[in-house]
Amino acid sequence: MSRDDIAPTNVVTMYRPLLLLALAFFPGLVINPSFVIDWLLPVTYDSLDVPQSVDFGELHPAQRRTLELPVRNLTCRPIQLQQPRVDCGCLLVDDLPPQLAAYESALARVSITAPAKGGPFSRNLLLLPKGADGPAWTIRATGTVTARVWSEPSQVNIDGDHPSEEIDIKLCSAQGARIDRVVASSSQIDVLDSTKRDGELRIRVRLNAHGDNVPLAGKESVDVFLDGQLNQPSLRVPIRWSPIPKIGFVPNNIDLPSFGKESDAKRTLRRVLAIVVPPDRSASEAQIEVLVPWARIAKKSIIGSTVRLDLEFSTDSMPSEFTQAVLATHFPGESIPEKLIAIGRRG
């Protein structure tokens, strides 16, 4: 039996005698209808029917494409939604209604601007109902950027423990396109040699490590130019060193503006955060550490590849102004954690 076959009035029918009994003994009792609905029919993960992923297909670098995202309320109560949250400014959501009536369906528009580099990409979109205890629905936006020239691998990660390691990169070009030159974006990268084989250009790169004088982390690239291109490369192959975190935050930072005003009696600020892990890793493996004494995890739940955190911040203990890492998470065995940054100031 699917969840669509279950009568939504079963829950109401089950608790109706309790409500009638309460009214019989307390005839003057006034019950807020919205409270009754929230108590009898709370919003759960099964309350909305949304796709787990949206595939944008093949795009050119920096191309913009818009798709429809179907959203359906599966319950007999209205559901209010927050503004969707994304982990990248390249992803936009429009036309999502702030409230879905009972059994109402809607079509939101999801737009993405493709990355500049070729190859597959994945971004994350988070839907949240209004209220502190609702579930989180994570939707992956995926696609593939095709280009006239691409590399294998699409990105080079150099182990921080072996900075002198030499990495081979294969550069491929589409029919009619010819690679003219390859240039490192900075002196921190050495392009050692290049050979042509079977129509492909193979290069070898290395981090320019002089003894132990190596930055803890870096982001450079090898730029590939086609014939006739002078200034703008057709491809940038990212070169990264030190471990790259495999965990993403949605949203990627937390804004706590103008907290602690005299007119505001709240001493605790609350935010909802989703930690999204790759499909090949288990969300239960993610290790989470709170880095500041004025923040705490009030509630933690795991749904699929997403860890949902309800965070609380004590305004009495906060610094007057800060841009500070408040949370760190990583998988076991990874030395460099991904950190969540909070930004705020006392009003």
> pLDDT tens digits for 153-200?
878 887 655 666 788 998 887 667 788 889 988 887 888 888 887 668
For the record, the structure tokens of 191 come out as 């392009």
- Give just the sign of the alpha carbon dihedral 104, 54, 44, 311: negative
Same domain, 237 and 253: no
Region of residue 27 (left: phi > 0; alpha: psi -120 to 50; beta: else): alpha
Same domain, 63 and 130: yes
Same domain, 97 and 28: no
Angle at 336 between CA 115 and CA 343, to 5 degrees: 70
How many whole angstroms separate alpha carbon 262 and alpha carbon 109?
41
| pLDDT for residue 7 | 43
What is the tens place of the pLDDT at every residue in 230-241? 788 888 888 887
Same domain, 236 and 303: no
Here the CATH number for the domain that contains residue 175 is 2.60.40.10
How many whole angstroms separate alpha carbon 45 and alpha carbon 303?
9
Long-range contacts of 261-264 (CB under 8 A, 24+ apart): 261/347, 264/347
- Give just the sign of the alpha carbon dihedral 75, 78, 84, 85: negative
- pLDDT band of residue 124 (cuts 50, 70, 90) is very high
Residue 274 scores a pLDDT above 50 = yes
Instruction: Give yes or no for a contact between 141 and 110, defined as CB atoms under 8 angstroms apart.
Output: yes
Residue 28 scores a pLDDT above 60 = no
Find all residues with CB under 8 Å of 96, minimum gap 6, and list them: 69, 71, 81, 84, 106, 108
Residue 345 scores a pLDDT above 50 = yes
First to last CA, the chain: 54
Same domain, 299 and 259: yes
Of 241, 265, 287, the position where a domain reaches its end is 241
Residue 86 scores a pLDDT above 80 = yes
Same domain, 49 and 141: yes
How many whole angstroms separate alpha carbon 40 and alpha carbon 54?
33
Same domain, 263 and 221: no
Residue 71 scores a pLDDT above 60 = yes
Residue 1 scores a pLDDT above 60 = no
Residue 39 scores a pLDDT above 70 = no
Same domain, 228 and 288: no
Same domain, 113 and 198: no
pTM more than 0.75:
no
SS3 278: coil
The least confident of 11-15, 55-59, 187-191, 307-311 is 11-15
Same domain, 184 and 207: yes
The total number of structural domains that make up the chain: 4
Residue 2 scores a pLDDT above 50 = no
| pLDDT for residue 163 | 60
| pLDDT for residue 123 | 94
SS3 296: strand
For 18, the domain range is 3-40
Same domain, 227 and 289: no
How many whole angstroms separate alpha carbon 269 and alpha carbon 272?
10
How would DSSP label each residue in 23-86? HHH-TT----HHHHHHHHS---GGGEE--SEEEEEEE-TT-EEEEEEEEEE-SSS-EEBPPPEE
Instruction: Give yes or no for a contact between 172 and 184, defined as CB atoms under 8 angstroms apart.
Output: no
Same domain, 179 and 258: no
